[in-house]
Amino acid sequence: MIKFKNVIIVVFSGIILSLAYFPLPLVYKTIIPYFIFIPLLFILDSVKNKIEYFTIGTIFGISLITPQLYWIFVLQIEDVNFFAIYSGTILLILLIGLQYGIGFLIYGIIKRFVKKSFVFILIFPLIEYFRGLGASFGFQWGILPLTQSYSPLFFQYCDIFGAYSITTVILLSNYIMFKYFKSKNRKFILIEMLLFISIILYGVISQNIHKSNRYINVSYVQPNVSPYIKHRSAFIDKRFKILIEMSDKLKKDSTDLIIWPETASPVYLNYRVDILNNLRNYVDSLNIPILTGTPIVDIEYKKPIRYFNGAMLIIPYDSFFIYRKMYPVPFVERIPYSDKISILNKLDFGQGHYSVGKEYTVFRTNGFKFSAIICFESMFEKLSRGMTRNGAEFIINITEDAWFGKTYFSYMHNAFLPIRAVENRRSIVRCANTGISCYIDQWGNVKNNSAIFTKSLFSDRISLISEISIYSRFGYLYPFILMIIILYLFIISFRRLYENRKN
C-alpha cells in the first residue's frame, strides 16, 4: 500500500513540473526539471510491489498532464459536441496516466533483478517516444523537452540524438543528485557540474556553426480574423480583402515569399476555380509567390470524394502546388481509422471528415525549397525530419489557434518548434491567424513573437540550409538503442525470475 505522504509528493511533483510548460520565468522553466524528479526517485527506490510502481506512474502522469490541458475546457468552437470533447479529454488524461503507469511498472520489474535505479533514465524517454507514435492517437503534449524550448542553449545536442535525448539528460541530472543525497559523496556534485558545463559548452559551440550564406526574405501575415465568421459565405470576400490589404503593405522588391495562415482561404481553392483564378491574378500582380492554408477536395472518377486540410503554394505566372495534411487532429478533423472502419463514419461529434495526406511535400520556387506543416503537426518529429530529408531548406508552420481564446495554448503549442528547428537545423516560420506568429532560427532562438489577437505583419531574412543534421539522417536511432537496452535488461530479469523459481 502506497503511503499517503508519498502520494502527495508524487502529485505535487507532477503539478510543479507541469508549471514549467507555462510562460513563467525562464530560470524556473529551465532549471526545475533538472531536480524535480529527485523526490520521485527516492519514492521509487523504496517501492517493492509492482502494483505500487504502476499506481505511482499513473498518478504522476495524470498530475503532469491535467494542468496543461485546461485550455480544452475553455474552447471557443461553434457547432461542436462539447460533451464529447470533455469526455474525450478525460479519457486522454487517463490514457496518458496509463502510459506512464506501464512505463513505471516495466521499470519496477527490471529494477527488481538489475538492482539499478539508473534504468529509470532509459525507460522514461521511451514513454514519451511511444506517446508520439501514430497519426491517429499520437499526442506529445507535456514531454520533458518542451520545458527547455525557450532556453535553446540547453538543447543544441538534439541535432545529434533528437528530442528524447533532452529527456535523458534532464533525468540524468536528477539521478546524479539523487545519488548525491543518498550517499553524500561529493563526487556526484562534480559530475553534475561537468554535465551542465558540457551542455552549455556544446550550446555555445553550436552557435558558431550551422551557418548559411544563402538567405531569402519571407513575410507572414497575421490577419486576426474571427474563426466564427471566416467560414461563412457572406464573409469570404471580406476575409480575402483583409489578407490582400495587409499583403499590399509589403515592400514588393524585397519579399521572396508571402505566408498566409491555416485556412486563410475558407473555401476549397482547388475546387472554387473562380476564387482561385482571382487569387492567381493577385499573385501575378505582386510577382511574389503566396503560401496559403486552404481546405482541399480531391474528386476522382469512380473513387470516393476525399477532403483534406492543406496548404497551397501559388507561383506567379506559373501554377499552384498542394500539401495535404498528414496528421489530422483526432476527433476534431477526423475520427481515427474511419477510413478503414466504415461504421465509424456514422459517429458525429461535430468533427470534420478529413483524410490523411501521404506525401512529405517539398515546395520549390525561385531557387529555394521549403515544406509546410499545419497546426499540431509540429508535435511529430517524424514529419519535419521527413521533409528535411526530402530537401526542404526551411519549414513553415501555419496554424489557427483562435479557438483557444486568450489562454496559454498558443505559447505551449509554439514550444515544439524550437526543438524541431534544432533537430533538423532548419529555420522555421510560424504564421497563425490570431498569433503567436514568429520566426525561429536554426539554433532554436525565437524572434518577432507576436501578441495574440492582434493584426501583425512581419518580414524576416531567413537562412536556407541544405546540409542534413545527424538526427535528420538517422532519426530514431537513439530511441531504438534505448529499446534494445531495455529489451536486453527485460530478458535478464525474466531469466533471473525463472532461475529463482526453479531453485
- Domain of 331, CATH number, reads 3.60.110.10
Cell 526517485 -> residue: 41
What pLDDT is attached to residue 107?
94
Residues of the chain with pLDDT under 70: 74-84, 134-136, 228-234, 331, 335-352, 503
SS3 265: coil
Contact in structure between 422 and 151 (CB atoms under 8 Å): no
How far apart, in whole angstroms, are the C-alpha atoms of residue 284 and residue 275? 14
Q: Are residues 306 and 424 in the same domain?
A: yes
Determine the Cα–Cα distance for residues 282 and 286; give it in Å rounded to an integer: 6
443 and 482 fall within a common domain? no
Asked if residue 304 and residue 167 are part of one domain, the reply reads: no
Q: Report how far apart, in Å, the C-alpha atoms of 412 and of each of 5, 215, 219, 375 are.
A: 31, 29, 23, 12
Which range of residues forms the domain containing residue 328?
215-468
- The torsion angle over the Cα atoms of residues 284, 290, 295 and 298, rounded to 10 degrees, is 60
Cell of 298: 480531391
Q: Give the model's pLDDT for residue 232.
A: 62
Single pTM value for the model? 0.92
Residues 259 and 347 in one domain: yes
Task: Please indicate, yes or no, whether residues 163 and 253 belong to a single structural domain of this protein.
Answer: no
- Listed residue (303, 268, 215, 260) closest to 400, CA to CA: 260
- Assess whether 160 and 278 both reside in one domain: no
CB-based contact 84:36 (threshold 8 Å): no
One domain, residues 326 and 428: yes
Residues 233, 165 share a domain:
no
- Are residues 253 and 312 both part of a single domain? yes
Same domain, yes or no, for 137 and 231? Answer: no
Q: Is residue 258 helix, strand or coil?
A: strand
3-class SS of residue 459: strand
Same domain as 479, residue 342: no
The domain tally of the chain equals 2
Mind listing the pLDDT tens digit for each residue in 302-333?
888 899 999 999 999 999 999 999 998 876 77
Work out the end-to-end distance of the chain between its first and last CA atoms, rounded to an integer number of angstroms: 29
Query: Crossing angle, helix 82-114 and helix 38-46, to 10 degrees?
Result: 60
Same domain, 75 and 222: no
Query: Environment class of residue 258 by beta-carbon count within 10 Å: exposed (0-12), middle (13-18) or buried (19+)?
Result: buried
